[in-house]
């Protein structure tokens, strides 16, 4: 066991010494990999920060039935009961929102309170919020009900509230696929960069490797320092990528805050959780070590 640990410690020290022996080349490779890794980290930050916002939005399709201005609150309640009775198999629940309740809700928002204060009367209509039951053909049923209810005498308009939520979910799904493809591209960059770095190191140490083999060094002993060299390069580059991503979030959050404040909202981009980042670091180190092993195997056959 001590011998095994001593061999790995020696390989680690050799790898560190080789990194420090060529500082410019090592720094260039680390910066290239770090900048490349920072891109998917920032993209993952956007995706991770957007998902909680989407989860807070009710995904169950909702139909908002706006009554005509001449309709009363009692008529709204009667219409809600009639809709529930006629379409009980398709409707999960109904809720009547009177014009007074809608006005008070808007006044509670600072963005609207000043504008509503100058109004002499309440311009908002009574509304019925209808939540539909989940079904295989939910979108088709919701559209059919919306068309049917628009023909009612007391109804002014019908809005299908969840259409944009589904579009947003589709956009997030597209982003996830794009992030996966971006991660695959980054993995190729890491493999290529580490492969070339180890190839140059192997060619530089060609005579040293030949002498080590002559005195009885095993192939594992010869290759081990290069594997540590690849893994160390990947780990240091991952740390650099995290620093770059954290620094990039500052101006992005400043711009996002200005945009969100204009809509009376608050949103900030955050890095993925520590466990995900740790797993990513380990994966990058493993990929770099595998690339180093492949490179040293191909370039030390002499």
Best mean pLDDT range from 65-69, 222-226, 260-264, 295-299: 65-69
Model confidence at 244, pLDDT cuts 50, 70, 90, reads very high
pLDDT in tens, 249-285: 888 888 888 877 766 667 788 888 888 889 888 888 8
pLDDT at 243: 93
- Over range 141-169, report the average pLDDT: 75
3 state SS for the chain: CHHHHHHHHHHHHHHHHHHHHCHHHHHHHHHHHHHHHHHHHHHHHHHHHHHHHHHCCCCCCEEEEEECCCCCHHHHHHHHHHHHHHCCCCEEEEEEECHHHHHHHHHCCHHHHHHHHCCCCCCCCCEEEEEECCCCCHHHHHHHHHHHHCCCCCEEEEEECCHHHHHHHHHHHHHHHHHHHHHHHHHHHHHHHHHHHHHHHHHHCHHHHHHHHHCCCCHHHHHHHHHHHHHHHHHHHHHHHHHHHHHHHHHHHHHHHHHHHHCCCCCCCCCCCHHHHHHHHHHHHHHHHHHHHHHHHHHCCC
Mean pLDDT of the chain: 77
pLDDT class for 292, splitting at 50, 70, 90? Answer: confident
In percent, the amount of the chain with pLDDT more than 70 equals 76
Q: What is the mean pLDDT of the segment spanning 140-167? A: 76
More confident residue, 232 or 50: 232
Q: Please give the pLDDT value at position 93.
A: 83
Q: What is the pLDDT of residue 289?
A: 84
pLDDT bucket at 80, cuts 50 / 70 / 90: confident
pLDDT digits (tens, 9 = 90+) for 14-48: 777 877 777 887 788 888 888 888 888 888 888 77
Question: What is the arithmetic mean of pLDDT over 46-66?
Answer: 69
Q: Are strands 91-97 and 62-67 parallel, antiparallel or unpaired?
A: unpaired
pLDDT at 116: 64
pLDDT at residue 225 greater than cutoff 90 = no
Dihedral sign, Cα of residue 118, residue 123, residue 126, residue 128: negative
In the prediction, which pLDDT does 168 show?
61
What whole-number distance in Å separates Cα of residue 84 and Cα of residue 91? Answer: 6
At residue 62 the predicted structure's pLDDT band, cuts being 50, 70 and 90, is confident
- Of 39, 274, 35, give the one whose Cα is nearest residue 179: 39
Domain boundaries along the sequence of the chain: 2-56+166-299, 62-161
- Which pLDDT score, from 0 to 100, does residue 27 have? 85
Q: Provide the CATH number for the domain formed by 62-161 in this structure.
A: 3.30.70.3040
157, pLDDT greater than 80: yes
Q: Sorting pLDDT into bands at 50, 70 and 90, what band is 118?
A: low
């Amino acid at each position: 066991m001590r011998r095994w640990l001593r061999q790995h410690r020696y390989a680690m020290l050799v790898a560190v010494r080789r990194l420090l022996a060529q500082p410019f080349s090592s720094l260039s490779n680390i910066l290239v990999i770090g900048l490349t890794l920072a891109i998917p980290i920032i993209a993952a930050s956007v995706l991770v920060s957007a998902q909680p916002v989407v989860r807070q939005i009710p995904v169950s399709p909702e139909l908002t039935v706006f009554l005509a201005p001449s309709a009363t609150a009692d008529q709204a309640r009667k219409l809600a009961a009639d809709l529930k009775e006629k379409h009980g198999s398709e409707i999960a629940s109904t809720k009547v929102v009177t014009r007074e309740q809608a006005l008070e809700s808007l006044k509670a928002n600072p963005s609207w309170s000043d504008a509503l204060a100058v109004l002499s009367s309440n311009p908002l209509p009574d509304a019925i919020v209808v939540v539909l039951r989940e079904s295989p053909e939910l979108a088709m049923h919701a559209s059919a009900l919306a068309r049917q209810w628009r023909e009612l005498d007391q109804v002014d308009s019908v809005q299908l509230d969840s259409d944009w939520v589904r579009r947003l979910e589709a956009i997030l799904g597209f982003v996830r696929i794009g992030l996966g493809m971006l991660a695959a591209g980054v993995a190729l960059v890491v493999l290529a960069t580490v492969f070339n770095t180890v190839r140059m190191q192997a060619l530089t140490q060609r005579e040293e490797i030949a002498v080590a083999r002559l005195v009885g060094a095993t192939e594992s002993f010869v290759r081990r320092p290069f594997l540590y060299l690849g893994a160390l390069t990947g780990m240091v580059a991952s740390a650099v990528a995290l620093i770059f991503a954290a620094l990039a979030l500052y101006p992005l959050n400043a711009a996002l805050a200005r945009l969100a404040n204009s809509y009376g909202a608050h949103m900030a981009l955050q890095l993925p959780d520590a466990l995900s980042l740790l797993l990513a670091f380990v994966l990058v180190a493993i990929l770099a070590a595998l690339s180093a092993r492949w490179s040293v195997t191909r370039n030390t056959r002499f």
